[in-house]
Homo-oligomer: A and B are copies of this chain.
Amino acid sequence: MQQSPVPPETPIYRRIADGLREAILSGELRDGDRLPGENALMAQYGIARATARQALSVLINEGLAVPKRGSGVYVRRFRPIRRHGSRRLSREHWGQGQAIWESDTRGRPYTVDEVQLDRETAEEDVARVLGGPEVWVRRRRYSVDGRPVQLSVSYFPAGLVEGTAIVQEDTGPGGVYARLGDLGHAPAHFTEEVRARMPHPHETVQLDLPAGTPVIAIMRTAYTSAGVPVEVNEMVLDSASYVLQYDFDA
């Protein structure tokens, strides 16, 4: 982000917010540090409580700080991931060999770990969608900025993907969707079902969730242009790390 000189007519609450933001972005204030409270800001700048509150709420609105009930406002350096439902899955994207996650994280470092590949008999809900219970399953966990944010389990019809890179740990440039394209089954349409709920115990552990943090559960089905379902992907997201965005026309 470009830093421009602050014009003198900028309101005081903004100038205070700018100073605190700079301290956060420069690393002077770090994740979990307590920001100066309303009383401290009032004394330091000779301002009203409402102005001090306004300064702090700028940082809260920007996701750089979180209020904790009865305790103060704390630095939160983890910016929510903006997960753009359609843009991230556009054909231009994976067609050019990019990973879908590059769209989500915009340059922030991410890792994929606990990758697990299995051939299985699917549960009824997945088997019904994919037209049969024999599936290959890709399980993995994604972390961003060193923090686990998502568990993801993808199911593919076993007959379709057997012996391909889709059942390898490294699926190659463009990932599984590019490989489905190589097979003549490129995804053309997606349906995402979004739910929110409290996490199951193993999800709390795997996502290292603080108590009282719900998860977002997404079930996506990918269809070819002929309407053939080629993947079911069940994702569980740390709700504190995500904003989902969907754009559509009237």
- A residues sitting closer than 8 Å to B (CB atoms) are 57-58, 61, 85-86, 89-91, 124-125, 177, 186-198, 212, 214-216, 222, 239-240, 242-250
A195 and B245 in contact (CB under 8 A), knowing A61-B124, A187-B250, A250-B89?
no
Q: Contact check: which of B125, B189, B243, B246 meets A250 at CB < 8 Å?
A: B189
A248 and B85 in contact (CB under 8 A), knowing A198-B214, A212-B198?
yes
Query: Are the CB atoms of B193 and A248 closer together than 8 Å?
Result: no
Please give me the residue from chain B that is nearest to A85 by CB atom.
Answer: B246
| Chain A contact surface mostly | strand
Please give me the residue from chain B that is nearest to A90 by CB atom.
Answer: B250
Query: Are the CB atoms of B197 and A239 closer together than 8 Å?
Result: yes
- Chain B residues lying within 8 Å of A248, measured Cβ to Cβ, are 85-86, 89, 189-190, 192, 246, 248
Q: Contact check: which of B57, B61, B190, B195 meets A249 at CB < 8 Å?
A: B190
- Chain B residues lying within 8 Å of A125, measured Cβ to Cβ, are 61
Q: Could you tell me the distance between the alpha carbons of A96 and B125 in the complex, rounded to whole angstroms? A: 36
Q: Could you tell me the distance between the alpha carbons of A69 and B87 in the complex, rounded to whole angstroms? A: 40
Q: Could you tell me the distance between the alpha carbons of A242 and B249 in the complex, rounded to whole angstroms? A: 22
Please give me the residue from chain B that is nearest to A4 by CB atom.
Answer: B124
- Chain B residues lying within 8 Å of A189, measured Cβ to Cβ, are 247-250
Query: Are the CB atoms of A194 and B194 closer together than 8 Å?
Result: yes
A245 and B198 in contact (CB under 8 A), knowing A89-B250, A186-B250?
no
Report the minimum CB–CB distance from A205 to chain B (whole Å): 18
Query: Are the CB atoms of A193 and B91 closer together than 8 Å?
Result: no
Report the minimum CB–CB distance from A158 to chain B (whole Å): 20
Instruction: Pull 7 A–B residue pairs with CB atoms less than 8 Å apart, ordered by A.
Output: A58-B124, A86-B249, A190-B249, A192-B248, A193-B244, A194-B245, A246-B246
Report the minimum CB–CB distance from A77 to chain B (whole Å): 18
Report the minimum CB–CB distance from A58 to chain B (whole Å): 8
- Chain B residues lying within 8 Å of A85, measured Cβ to Cβ, are 246, 248
Query: Are the CB atoms of B188 and A239 closer together than 8 Å?
Result: no
Q: Could you tell me the distance between the alpha carbons of A216 and B85 in the complex, rounded to whole angstroms? A: 16
Report the minimum CB–CB distance from A63 to chain B (whole Å): 9
- Chain B residues lying within 8 Å of A246, measured Cβ to Cβ, are 85, 191-192, 194, 246, 248
